Amino acid sequence: MRYDTVIIGAGLSGLAAGIRLAYFDRSVCVLERHTTVGGLNSFYRLRDRNHDVGLHAVTNYAAPGTLTGPLSKLLRQLRLRWEDFALVPQTQSSIVFPGCTLRFTNDFEFFEQQVVERFPAEKDNFARLVQRIAEYDPMALDQPEISTREVLAEELNDPLLIEMLLCPTMFYSSATPDDLEWPQFVIMFRSIFHEGFGRPLEGVRLIIKKLVRKFRGLGGELRLRSGVQKIVSDSDHATGVLLDDGQFIEAKNVLSSAGNFETMRMCDQAVDLSPPGEISFVESIYSLDRQPADLGHDQTIVFFNDSATFSYRRPDVPVDVTSGIVCSPNNFHYGEPSGEGRMRITALADPGHWMRLPPDEYTQQKQEWAERVLTSTLRHVPDFRDHIVDTDIFTPRTIRKFTGHENGCVYGAPRKIRDGCTHLRNLFLCGTDQGFLGIIGSMLSGITIANLHLLRPSKSH
């Protein structure tokens, strides 16, 4: 069969693009190598427990019925209802550095007050920065490369405030060591501080199930266990894809959410491979015999750093225990019991170390480094070790196995391709290497590229 568009990868961006195209009666097939959908934001069941992977929180939270903002736009584009995602707001989160803590909720004025109280000399500067962010359009696809560190140094005088603003925005989006692009910072500042965190009680599986049901309901085809071995091309355009099992699928257009490096590696023509990303993480998921709030921990997410300067890069040790993220999925305003207590701890990791280890040593080192990260984290949260009933740990090796991303990189390559174009006139990129990140950003990435390239008749061949 010949499709209008074949989409590589059933992550959030690929599914959203598929829905958008299927609405306009395009024949669409989404191909996924693995047995489950979701990509970097997926779910699994282990030892009778359901786990999310990837999702700490949905950024860009908005109250149901809000008419503006990324979430409202997303729902309109996909013809989804507010109740489909069933998002509820966070309780409170914090950025913790030595001697200074900034708390924030989904009320931006509260965060502004926190900044002014802790950095009174920066009141006017911070207000000017907020105004600059408000006036900037980060969604334009022809952005020049601008360093966020350089912009913040222009607007703010206190280095500590700069580092504290960079900590969560980098942790949740940056593929660039020790910096991030200014448009990405603007997106993340708005999505974390202006709009804030939300989450469905059922976690990411609810969002993914809604997307799959919508896609299939519109006539889209989703094929699991269907890995793409090669993107076949003729001169300057793709003719289709060759699957791992030898089957050829013909397509007018190919949209890949696999990442730029990974996509170029699939092409049957020789192309220059831009270097893949190197930012990856280890995460420990702890199941508890009681709620974190009952142990004195009421924060939704804690971003911590143990020095005045935030180091965000591939560490030269297996795991960097000096900074990290602590997330409790229980600490949202669900209004009903949130199930078993959970604490998730995330830290920067060296992909090379974890890829090289033999199996027995790999298992042992996972346990050892998880203990070190936990010990470091206990300076910022109550000691919950006596209440752990189950633990699961993933590393860059796990991420590569289940997503195919080189180095287990989470945010793709540092160089983003915002218009999604490649060397082939009908092969496009969406997802992390297009540049819109996060749960909402990933879906908007798929929608944006579908609207820009795949819903225009002139792009078909």
Query: For residue 46, what is the domain's CATH number?
Result: 3.50.50.60
The candidate with the shortest Cα–Cα distance to 119, out of 68, 52, 164, is 164
For the segment 30-47, the average pLDDT, to the nearest whole number, is 82
Please indicate, yes or no, whether residues 183 and 230 belong to a single structural domain of this protein: no
pLDDT reported for residue 134: 96
- Using the structure block, give the residue that is written with the tokens 């005045």: 308
Q: Is residue 282 part of a domain?
A: yes
Q: Is the pLDDT of residue 181 over 90?
A: yes
Please indicate, yes or no, whether residues 185 and 236 belong to a single structural domain of this protein: no
For the segment 261-284, the average pLDDT, to the nearest whole number, is 90
pLDDT band at 396 (very low <50, low <70, confident <90, very high): very high
User: Does an H or E element contain 364, and which?
Assistant: helix 359-377
Please indicate, yes or no, whether residues 218 and 183 belong to a single structural domain of this protein: no
Please indicate, yes or no, whether residues 114 and 66 belong to a single structural domain of this protein: no
Q: Is residue 326 part of a domain?
A: yes
Q: Is residue 70 part of a domain?
A: yes
Number of domains in the chain: 3
pLDDT reported for residue 19: 99
For the segment 113-120, the average pLDDT, to the nearest whole number, is 99
Q: Is the pLDDT of residue 459 over 70?
A: no
Q: Is the pLDDT of residue 282 over 90?
A: yes
pLDDT reported for residue 456: 78
Q: Is the pLDDT of residue 286 over 90?
A: yes
Q: Is the pLDDT of residue 162 over 80?
A: yes
Measure the CA–CA gap between 197 and 100, rounded to whole angstroms: 22
E strand residue ranges, 235-327: 237-243, 248-256, 280-288, 301-305, 323-327
Q: Is residue 95 part of a domain?
A: no
pLDDT reported for residue 46: 73
Q: What is the mean pLDDT of the chain?
A: 94
Q: Is the pLDDT of residue 458 over 60?
A: no
Please indicate, yes or no, whether residues 318 and 399 belong to a single structural domain of this protein: yes
Please identify, among 163, 195, 227, the residue that sits at the C-terminal boundary of a domain. 195
Please indicate, yes or no, whether residues 325 and 363 belong to a single structural domain of this protein: yes
Please identify, among 143, 172, 195, the residue that sits at the C-terminal boundary of a domain. 195
The candidate with the shortest Cα–Cα distance to 56, out of 172, 208, 146, is 172
For the segment 199-216, the average pLDDT, to the nearest whole number, is 94
Q: Is residue 57 part of a domain?
A: yes
pLDDT reported for residue 461: 41
Please indicate, yes or no, whether residues 221 and 165 belong to a single structural domain of this protein: no
Please indicate, yes or no, whether residues 215 and 157 belong to a single structural domain of this protein: no
DSSP labels for 180-238? -BHHHHHHHHIIIIII--EE-TTTHHHHHHHHHHHHHHTT-EEESS--EEEEEEETTEE
Helix, strand, coil shares of the chain, percent, nearest 5, are 35, 25, 40
Please indicate, yes or no, whether residues 269 and 283 belong to a single structural domain of this protein: no
Q: Is the pLDDT of residue 44 over 80?
A: no
Q: What is the CA angle 18-174-263, rounded to 5?
A: 45
Q: Is the pLDDT of residue 389 over 80?
A: yes
Q: What is the CA angle 27-33-38, rounded to 5?
A: 80
Please indicate, yes or no, whether residues 289 and 387 belong to a single structural domain of this protein: yes
Q: Is residue 89 part of a domain?
A: no
Please indicate, yes or no, whether residues 166 and 137 belong to a single structural domain of this protein: yes
- Using the structure block, give the residue that is written with the tokens 């209440």: 387
Q: Is residue 313 part of a domain?
A: yes
Q: Is residue 96 part of a domain?
A: no
The candidate with the shortest Cα–Cα distance to 78, out of 456, 457, 445, is 445
Please identify, among 144, 163, 195, the residue that sits at the C-terminal boundary of a domain. 195
Range of the domain at 303: 278-403
User: Does an H or E element contain 347, and which?
Assistant: strand 341-349
pTM: 0.94
pLDDT band at 146 (very low <50, low <70, confident <90, very high): very high
Q: Is the pLDDT of residue 50 over 80?
A: no
Please indicate, yes or no, whether residues 143 and 220 belong to a single structural domain of this protein: no
Q: Is the pLDDT of residue 312 over 70?
A: yes
For the segment 255-282, the average pLDDT, to the nearest whole number, is 91
